[in-house]
Amino acid sequence: MTRTVPWAVPTPAPARRQPVRFCFEVLRGVAQVDFMPNAACGAFFVAALFASGWQYGLYGLLGAAVGTGVAYGLGVDRERIGAGLEGFNGCLVAVAFAVFLGPGHASTWAMALGGAVVAAVVTGALVNLLKPWALPTFTLPFCLIASVVTIAAPGFQRIWHEGSSLSALPRTAHGDPGLNWGDLAHAFFANVGQIFLMPQWYVGVIFLIGIFVADLHAGFTACLGSAVGTATAWALGAPATGVVEGLLGYNAVLVAMALGSVFLARGPWALVYAAVGAVASTVLTVAVTSFFSPFGGHTLTWPYILTTLVFLVAVPSFPRLRGLAAV
């Protein structure tokens, strides 16, 4: 579905072939967080995680490796494994646990390991559940597992190390909505980094380079989504702090890539459709954040999932748009 350079697996001696292949599949699993079945892209993504903090890099690799390994053990279709489709939810689960539970705790490593295993099982369930409608699993396994654990975590003393619960009632937006040129640049790249829960602008730059390495068109739609998400948040008066940190724009990046480069035939109408979806997801991001606040949950990529699901289901009603096969 994407024009990629997948790093064809070399053919060394038989005894070494499988470990090399597995490493490439793990890298593709990391890259599939942004839809790219590309090991080179995955290497850039891993580098970006390490740039944010060495522990996050290790957590990402652990999650992708465990998800891929469990898929092998359960006999999942080799094409799915080879494309990295069995590793990306495990990667996100592990990184999310590191961010929300603290990366330096033994309990977090154990939770990341177990979460990646469960993510593989949930992925299998959703593949079968969504197959009749030819819909992909998106990051739904990640969102389900991460939401359950982060909401439940304060109830378990051995895995929660952050003091009081993060639950709070939604509040009226406050703070200056004004953005200067530096803020806009920071937000543009932070939107890409926040897909992996990383707020640093320079980490977003590395992620974006990885996307462009894999697919120029996908890189363009990622930029489109980031720009539209930032512009929408600013136009509606969102506080500058959240916009600059990328918290309101990362779902727009994913929606724009999904609709503009991955799940629909590429073309001008798909780009317009992707831009509209990016606007919708930015608004939905605030709604989902408010919904989860009383429970201490997190927005994650729920807005991307909900927006893309609705927009993909609507495609048959629009003759100018054409869908591609789900993965």
Q: How far apart are CA 317 and CA 264, in angstroms?
A: 14
Residue that finishes a domain, picked among 131, 166, 201: 166
Task: Report residue 104: phi and psi, to 5°.
Answer: -95, 10
Residues 130, 224 within the same domain: no
Q: How confident is the model at residue 2 (pLDDT cuts 50, 70, 90)?
A: very low
Residues 148, 186 within the same domain: no
Q: Residue 191's domain spans which residues?
A: 171-327
Q: pLDDT tens, 293-327?
A: 887 789 999 999 999 999 999 999 999 999 875 54
Task: Report residue 323: phi and psi, to 5°.
Answer: -85, 160
Q: How far apart are CA 227 and CA 221, in angstroms?
A: 10
The tally of domains found in the chain comes to: 2
The CATH number given to whatever domain includes residue 135 is: 1.10.3430.10
Residues 55, 188 within the same domain: no
Q: How far apart are CA 5 and CA 112, in angstroms?
A: 30
Q: How far apart are CA 214 and CA 32, in angstroms?
A: 11
Q: pLDDT tens, 260-289?
A: 999 999 999 999 999 999 999 999 999 999
Mean of pLDDT over the chain: 91
Residue that finishes a domain, picked among 166, 183, 201: 166
Distances (CA, A) of 325 to 67, 131, 246, 262: 23, 11, 31, 10
Residues 260, 281 within the same domain: yes
